[in-house]
Structure 1
Amino acid sequence: MTRPRRVLWLDASAGIAGDMVLAALVDAGADRDEVSRVVGAVAPEVRIAWEGTTRAGLRGLRAIVSAEGSVPNRSVAGIRGVLDSDELPEAVRELASRVFDRIVAAESAVHGMPPESVHLHEVGGWDSIADIVGACAALTMLDIDEVVVSPIAVGSGHVRAAHGVLSVPVPGVTELLRGWEISSGGDGELATPTGAALAVTLAERQGHVPTGRLVAVGVGAGTRDRPDRANVVRALVLEVTASDVDSGGASMLDEIACTVDDLDPRVWPTVLTRLLDGGALDAWLVPALMKKGRPAHVLHVLCRPEDTARLGSFVLEETSSLGYRVTRVDRIALERAWVDVFVEGEGVQVKLAIRDGMVLRVVAEFDDAVAAATRLDRPVRDVLESAVQAAAERGIVAGAPVPDDARAERSPGTPA
């Protein structure tokens, strides 16, 4: 059966910065030479030195980034050009671009200007680019399925920046951490824009250390050595099984909702389909009765927090709603796997719900059943039942062990 899910917990209780996240992930097991090579592929001017050190008496690893000269073009388009390089592995390129887009969106909101017009100061330097690319590369090397971050310490007081003296947390950080749990945690700037962007982009939710088997620990040290608190980010890698999920593991998601009473009902199927195609985890309608007895529908969209603004914008564009509500929710999900069965020679994928390594439920995939029923000229109901029976003939029933050929992802097509 599939390996346990690997969950990364980032401890940001002492603050978070890009170089600290990078160092913590390398200290947790990512190949430092490969990380340096990936960064150097898009930024040949950059060098990363790795230095063992202590913070408040605790061991840690520092990532010291140095560069020859400055980024030639600090515009949004210029830095996107660096991150879009074909020299980056596709997964790293996609993830690093998402982190950068979060920074751009935050700066756009802070300065009240279009994203493409934003001028990047501190976060436009080679060091920030190296931190983002390096951290994303290190994360992919660790083969992580989910990232959880603790409440984030942001600091207090004032700091001097390109726009003068600013209160801590600085505006870019507050915009990035909107909707996330924060604390002061001490004096000074404890959370930088790059660190905050990495946290909210990589992490699916916030919480305490998940239940699971601890397999690796990384400690990334910051620049300052404070006597009252170790200036570090810790990265804990855990292997989590289905039984661990039942013990309280959850994914932090957003639920978008709006009530609509004046949309042509023929449009709703297209709206739901496009939301799902656009990255929504689920989308559904609930009938409602509004004031003055008007019939209506409540649209619900379940999505990852990083997709909320984009999908919310889609809701406003594709429906007649004048706004929407967002609620942060926890989702508890059973482990799932898929196997292939055949009904009169037509392949159908069967989904297994799994708990404690045992099959809890067996369900045929509806779209596969429809396709098979069309080719066989049989009722869909019959094909659904026959697929489950075919699985049972292989011993795949509730209470049975998960079969060896079960896979963690559904295949895009029907079995051949």
Structure 2
Amino acid sequence: MQHLKTLYFDCFSGISGDMILGTLIDLGVDPQRLIHELEKLNVKDYRITFSKKLVNGISGSDVAVELTSDHLHTHEHKDKSFDHQHHHSHHGESRNLEDCTRIIASSNLSEWVKKHAVLVFEEVARAEAHVHGKSISEVHFHEIGAIDSIVDIVGTFIGLELLGVEKVYSSALHDGNGFITCAHGTMPVPVPAVAQMLASSERPIPYIQEDVPTELITPTGMAIIKTIAHDFGTLPRMNVQRIGYGTGKRDTGRMNALRGILGELQEECARDQTVLLQANIDNQSGELLGYSMTRLLDKGALDVFYTPIYMKKNRPATMLSVLIKPEDEQKITKIILAETTTLGVRAFRCPRYVMRRDFKSVETKFGAIKIKHSFLNDIEKYTPEYEECASLATKHQVPLREVYDAANYCILNQQWSNISK
């Protein structure tokens, strides 16, 4: 049984960047360690504060990022619906994707934090570019490019890393309704960027509108949860260890907070989502089908296989099956339509269960050979890597079987030279 440190976000009152950060603090992230890591961004002119706050009688953590530079806004918003739920005081200069990426890439943060923070900014950039009919390079972030949102996004991944979270799940996303006023004027809820992120998702993201006349899901919050959530739905089977609340800034008429449930996922098999594409082909040669398989595998297909079938008019034919990642569906479908004679492609959502795996190495008389180690509870499998065995067989001019025998002897006697994950 694998026990993965897992965090479940219960988005019963929406989600935003600072609410995520508050939740992580409430779950045990040390504020001083967070500040220390954020200093690696080399971004100045802001101050971050942490406080406890009661919301509907429930204690949670509030995180606020305030600008301290001269470009801080001095005007007030009289319309109570104006704030696009930024949740912070005010924003400074706007930045584009290149600016935000440069700030993150030039920092001394861990590669994991930098990689995932950039993914969030790219998600928002794609949505904003689509909404405004611009290229990604032309998009300037108003909210997302401000210092407070940069701190929210980067701080989220710092917090996840400090907590040792290995997997994130989320509930359905609850939003309000009506209209809000932001930098682009009066906008419907969900705001266009959030709506586009929902529409562009390769997997279904459950979305529910509540009778709350304002925005509950911000672009920052939407981009973060879309990027980090392994799946959306009810709480997975897990040993719950800690509960935390990140509080919102406004009175919405109900409990305005994000709940985080931290624990260990009880997972016997790893599970991921795949898509199975299929097409029936009765008028294409074996040479062309062989080429199609090569192209599909080169472009990222997880598996490609052919099945003999009979079609209408008693024609012997071939069914092409391609297993892919959800995000590759459009790309791979186009290749199938271009490289084969089929006029249509079927798509099926396929949850996939896989044994966990790592790699070990053995030292044989022919040389080092990498061994794939697959495991589930008391089930273990060891498989010598074919390419390395074949290369050594060619090098030493011996039958491939002898190289396999040498590798399997080391496996049987547990003679590992090292372990590499």
TM-score between the two structures when normalised by the length of structure 1 = 0.79
SS in 1 for 2:123: helix
Q: Provide the C-alpha distance between the structure 1 equivalents of 2:316 and 2:185, rounded to a whole number of angstroms.
A: 54
Higher strand share: 2
The root-mean-square deviation of aligned C-alpha atoms, in Å, is: 3.4
Distance apart, 1:71 and its partner CA: 4.4
> 1:93-115: per-residue Cα shift (whole Å, max 9, x none)?
11111000000111122223221
Deviation at 1:266, TM superposition (A): 5.8
Mapped contact 1:373–1:379 kept (Cα < 8 A): yes
Residue 231 of structure 2 is matched in structure 1 by 205
Aligned to 1:400: none
The Cα of 1:211 is off from its aligned counterpart by 2.3
Structure 2 residue corresponding to 1:96, chosen from 105, 117, 137: 117
1:352 aligned onto 2:369? no
Q: Distance in 2 between matches of 1:180 and 1:323?
A: 26
Q: Residues 37 and 158 of structure 2 are in contact (CA less than 8 Å); yes or no, is this contact kept in structure 1?
A: yes
The Cα shift of 1:150 comes to: 1.4
Pair 1:74–1:370, CA change in 2 (3 A): same
Contact 1:352–1:359, Cα closer than 8 Å, also in 2: no
Q: Deviations over 1:329-351 (max 9, x none)?
A: 32222232433334335333333
Gapped regions of structure 2 (runs ≥ 5): 72-90
**2:246 corresponds to:** 220
Q: Which amino acid aligns with 1:168?
A: V
Asked whether 1:393 is paired with 2:392, we answer no
For the 8 Å contact 2:97–2:122, the answer to whether it is kept is: no
2:138 paired residue number: 117
- Quickly say closer, same or farther: Cα 1:140–1:165, change in 2 above 3 A: same
Deviations 1:52-87 (A, max 9, x none): 112211111111011133544523333333233234
- Closer, same or farther in 2 for the Cα pair 1:154/1:227, shift >3 Å? closer
The answer on whether the counterparts of 1:176 and 1:196 sit within 8 Å (CA) in structure 2 is yes
Looking at structure 2, the residues matched to 80 and 385 of structure 1 have their Cα atoms a distance apart, in angstroms, of 50
- The runs of 5 or more residues in structure 1 that have no matched partner are 396-402, 411-416
Could you say what secondary structure the match of 1:86 adopts?
coil
Contact 1:55 1:226 in 2 (8 A): no
Q: Which residue of 1 aligns with 2:184?
A: 163
Alignment partner, residue 216 of structure 2? 190
> Is contact 1:155-1:190 (8 Å) kept?
yes
8 A Cα contact 2:38 2:155, kept in partner: yes
CA distance in 2, matches of 1:323, 1:94: 37
- Compute the displacement of 1:391 (Å): 1.9
For 1:389 and 1:144, locate their aligned partners in 2 and report how far apart those are by CA, in whole Å: 38
How far apart are 1:29 and its partner, in Å? 2.6
Counterpart Cα distance in 2 of 1:365 and 1:131: 43
The yes-or-no answer on 1:39 pairing with 2:41 is no
* 363-372 or 137-146: bigger deviation: 363-372
Q: Is the Cα–Cα contact under 8 Å of residues 20 and 62 in structure 1 kept in the other structure?
A: yes
What is the aligned-residue identity percentage?
A: 25
On the 8 A contact 1:39/1:46 being kept in 2, the answer is: no
Matched, 1:9 2:8: yes
1:178-197: CA deviations, max 9, x gaps? 33111124412111110010
**Which deviates further from its counterpart, 284-293 or 3-12?**
284-293
Instruction: Tell me the SS of whatever aligns to 1:332.
Output: strand
Aligned to 2:128: 107
Query: What is the distance in 2 between the residues matched to 1:133 and 1:24?
Result: 15
> 1:64 — aligned with what?
64
Larger radius of gyration: 2
What is the aligned partner in structure 1 of residue 338 from structure 2?
A: 320
Number of residue equivalences: 385
Contact residue 260 and residue 320 of structure 1 kept, 8 A: no
Question: Quick check: 292-301 or 211-220, which moved more?
Answer: 292-301
Q: Distance in 1 between matches of 2:276 and 2:46?
A: 42
Q: Structure 1 residues 352, 36: closer, same or farther in 2, change over 3 A?
A: same
CA displacement at 1:286 relative to structure 2 = 3.3
Q: Does 1:302 align with 2:324?
A: yes
